[in-house]
Structure 1
Amino acid sequence: MKFIKLSSDSLKVIQAQDFTDTEPGSAVKEFNSFLNRVMEKPVPLSKGKRQPVQKWTALLNGELTVPDCPELKRPLTIHYPSVLGLYLLVRASGLGRIVVAGTHKLQLVINENMMAQWQQLKPVEQYFSLLDTWLTRGSSDIIGEELHGRDHRLLACSGVNFLRQSAFNEEPISPIGLEALPISLGAYNIALLNLFGLANIQWQGTHKLAHLQFTPLGVTLFNAFQKSVDLHGLALPAGCEDILYEANGMLKVVQQWRDDIKQLLHPPVVKLHDSYIINASMYAYKCRRTLMVPVTATLEQLARKVLVAFSFTTDRLYCVIHEDNYGNIYKIADPRLKPRYANYTDDITLKDLVPESGNQYKLHYNLNNHWEFILEIVDGVDEKIDTITVTDRKGEPPREF
């Protein structure tokens, strides 16, 4: 197994560093403040980018150790880069998930299984769990933003070139780099560099940088984690070292450096049941059907049963949208669309989605008229059944035609 080796000087930097709620930066403290607010009350999200609404964002921003200070009279969520960066961590860590709570109503709620695990971690373990989340899973599209490069994560986007030559160093970033970074790297990623204590930054107005300089810890960690490819003598960013993408990869790496790290945040083990109670809802029409579904049922069987339960035909095309705990969205297509897509409903069972209470899936039917059904896992039942059955009906469905 390949491990990441450090020079003796670099190792001293990491071993001498204190990791608390507020050191080397305030990332852990601010992140826990974000979580506490979500636990108090679900966070309302915008429908388009699915970001926290401006009013909520401004309230949390006011609680930060160093709040962002947008100059606009009517700032948007994106003008609070620190909150947006924390939101990325909440989504990519699996600690927060998005649910449909009504017509055009999206909310961020806590994933209780992940939260129970998070609360058992020490500050140093929380710090490296969040760093792992950011670097290996923190894709900008999770929060409705876009970066260019090999992918939408920090160390693989083209904007990271403005932070380094062939390596990261402690020299202040040039004026050209300062001008380009807020767009090419994302202001929320710059804010996270500061929150993690990896760089010192100064803003000159909304989304305009006046200064950025890496700390010794930032230089050490980013040079250790960054993977580059050589193209005609140019070292181009290619994301993280391969080991960091492995299961428990970050844990394997940092345990070589510090003996106070025993565990990091990881995917929970989900107990599968024989059957599941699923609520299928059309929120716009205030109607719902409750189904008992065997875990071995295919998504094709489930989709057809839902449509029949709402008195819809089954001859039009459909797809099922699945979003995993880390914000990755998968489109599972009608088998009649083969071979245009990667995943099809007749090949994937409910078991393959690893269902948990609270998980939601979307069923889009008739891709021209776009009827939407929300399928929510209510609970698992240890009772084996052979077929999908409708156990309850509420409300009259709309006419399909």
Structure 2
Amino acid sequence: MLQRSCTEESRLTVLHLVQPVEGGVARVVTDLVAAQVRAGLRPVVACPPDGWLATGAAEAGARVWAWPAERVPGPRLGGEVALASRLVRACAPDVIHAHSAKAGLAGRLAVRGRVPTVFQPHAWSFEALEGRAAGLATTWERFGARWSDRIVCVSESERRAGQRAGIAGRWSVIRNGVDLGRFRPVSPEAARSARAGLGLLADVPAGAPLAVCVGRLSRQKGQDVLLRAWRRVRVPGARLVLVGDGPCGGELRRAAPEGVLFAGACGDVRPWIHAADVLVLPSRWEGMALAPLEAMACGRPVLLSDVDGARESLPPGQVPHCLVPPEDPAALASALTALLGDPALRAGLGDAAQAHARSAFDLTRTSRAVLRLYQELVDQSRPTTRERTER
């Protein structure tokens, strides 16, 4: 068992159990643990060692333990639950924070209410499934809620989706936040320099309208819908760049029409955001996507599909320009054509987006809300977390 010093014993210990280890979830966890280290907490991250979360969390100051769990439930689930249970005993956390469906499943089965447990779905698993699989996921979430001291949603619409599915729990809505020191507007000259510095755009004329999609290349993010829409976009010289990698990468590359470029995985998306005229994300489901918040904080207009969290992301009055029905290539193409063809419209939307993001999606506020929730749950626990863990 891990030996801990007297100094460590006096600090609030949070075990983040995480799968997946890339994309928005990994970014959220990394930002949280960095804030928790600054606040004097002792965050521990248990996650698969592949992907960039393990490295990012360690650099943020967390202790990182290997939890080699697969992304979806399978025959290894029993072993994953057993290992999660051993990690909990070794860590003796005051709070467990399980992120996304797989970690929520394994973590709650491992602990079963013996330690204050926060479950954060980061978009509901049953929204990603169909038929019997969706029904099983919904049944589990209803059952697993009994072992969640709090279910944290990143948008009111995500919470309502859970309630409509019959999940009865204690809810908190804590919106995703953006590091406003990192994601901020740049001058037009700096934006041009950002574009010029991206080698993928070396053959693209400097003034060509540029749409950028940042996200894992997956069914969830809807890049296939975007490619179908791009064939209908009528803006001379316009380019589309997909930033990210994922299971649908090969299929998307084969289906890409003229004018579409693939940047691959990117550790720092800011140059792409600064270079973009519009950030587009046609997701099929979300809780509240992080990339649009980052783009808005940089003063870039966004175009989103009307899924959970999208309306709550946008400034008042932007829905007609910046929100389209999901899985509707025609509507997406029309909106892209309008935005890419109208610099004045983009400028106005970008200014409003910047002001809105900086007032509503500050990472500092998000981190403080999570910390208050931890403290509330610890204060309510009895007699002590460690005594209950060791029984």
Tell me the TM-score normalised to structure 2 length: 0.28
Greater percentage in helix: 2
- Between structure 1 and structure 2, the one with the greater Rg is 1
Tell me the TM-score normalised to structure 1 length: 0.28
